[in-house]
Amino acid sequence: MMPDNAHDIKTAYQKICAEISAPPEATLEAKLEAKLEAKPITLLAVSKQVAAAQVRVLLECGHRHFGENRVQEAVQKWTPLKADYPAIELHLIGALQSNKVKEAAALFDVIETLDRPRLAAALARLRDSGVALPRLFVQVNTGNEAQKAGVALNEAGAFIEQCRHDYGLTIEGLMCLPPYDTPPAPHFMQLATLAQAHNIAHLSMGMSGDYGIAIACGADIIRIGTALFGSR
């Protein structure tokens, strides 16, 4: 049975899809002027704390990209959903403990939260044991907030190169979660600059409240929970 808010979820989904597939003129022109290719934007539907019945509304719409922040919750929710729907792409966007890498690698297609050497070492060991790793993004703590995960901005470049050269990991993207109480644009710009300096293709940035700004700063993956499913 479809949940009560199925209609709201579908409407919100269609609205956001329309927005991100047709960026405002000014943005497009600015991009052309800068001779940058307009990157396609991937909407990552953040389904943490969202019941499977509501997730199924988006799956029925044909949506296949989802983000979860807890390994255990994701395993329980997504094992049956993955059996019902082919070609799901699941991203881990929450902190990963080194002792959970095997479980995470078995479920997730992308881990967006690689942020410390210990975790890089655990992933490299798993790969060396013959397990295919998910695609990896480095999470950067652009606000240098003590309580937040992510490698500190001033250590991020060295960490990316350490992942590549010491652990042989391929880093395909960068992710950030700016502080709540400051304008996000400078954080998004710093992440974009870091990606360019290290030749990294993907930028996962922007949430319900700021995805428009993130796209203007070069995001190609936006992570949206509340604006799709309502408040948690």
Work out which of 41, 151, 216, 224 binds ligand PLP, going by CB under 6 A.
224
> Residue 99 carries which DSSP code?
G
The distance of closest approach from Cβ of residue 33 to ligand PLP in the complex, given in angstroms and rounded to an integer, is 30
Q: Check residue 70 for interaction with ligand PLP (CB under 6 A).
A: no
Count of residues binding ligand PLP (CB under 6 A)?
Answer: 14
Q: Which is nearer to ligand PLP, 63 or 223 (CB)?
A: 223
Work out which of 5, 42, 162, 208 binds ligand PLP, going by CB under 6 A.
208
Helix (H, G, I), strand (E, B) or coil at 225: coil
Between CA 113 and CA 154 the distance in angstroms is 17
Residue whose C-beta lies closest to ligand PLP: 225
The secondary element (H helix, E strand) that includes residue 138 is: strand 135-141
Q: Which is nearer to ligand PLP, 80 or 209 (CB)?
A: 209
The secondary element (H helix, E strand) that includes residue 46 is: strand 42-46
Selection from 34, 35, 73, 37 nearest residue 55 by Cα: 73
Q: What angle do CA 19, 138, 228 make, to 5 degrees?
A: 30
The distance of closest approach from Cβ of residue 209 to ligand PLP in the complex, given in angstroms and rounded to an integer, is 6
Distance set, CA 215 to CA 105, 116, 198 (Å): 28, 27, 20
Q: Check residue 207 for interaction with ligand PLP (CB under 6 A).
A: yes
Q: Which is nearer to ligand PLP, 113 or 167 (CB)?
A: 113
Q: Check residue 45 for interaction with ligand PLP (CB under 6 A).
A: no
- Whether residue 145 contacts residue 119, with contact meaning beta carbons closer than 8 Å, is answered with no
Site for ligand PLP in 77-116 (CB under 6 A): 93-94
- Applying CB under 6 A, which residues contact ligand PLP? 46, 48, 69, 93-94, 177, 207-209, 223-227
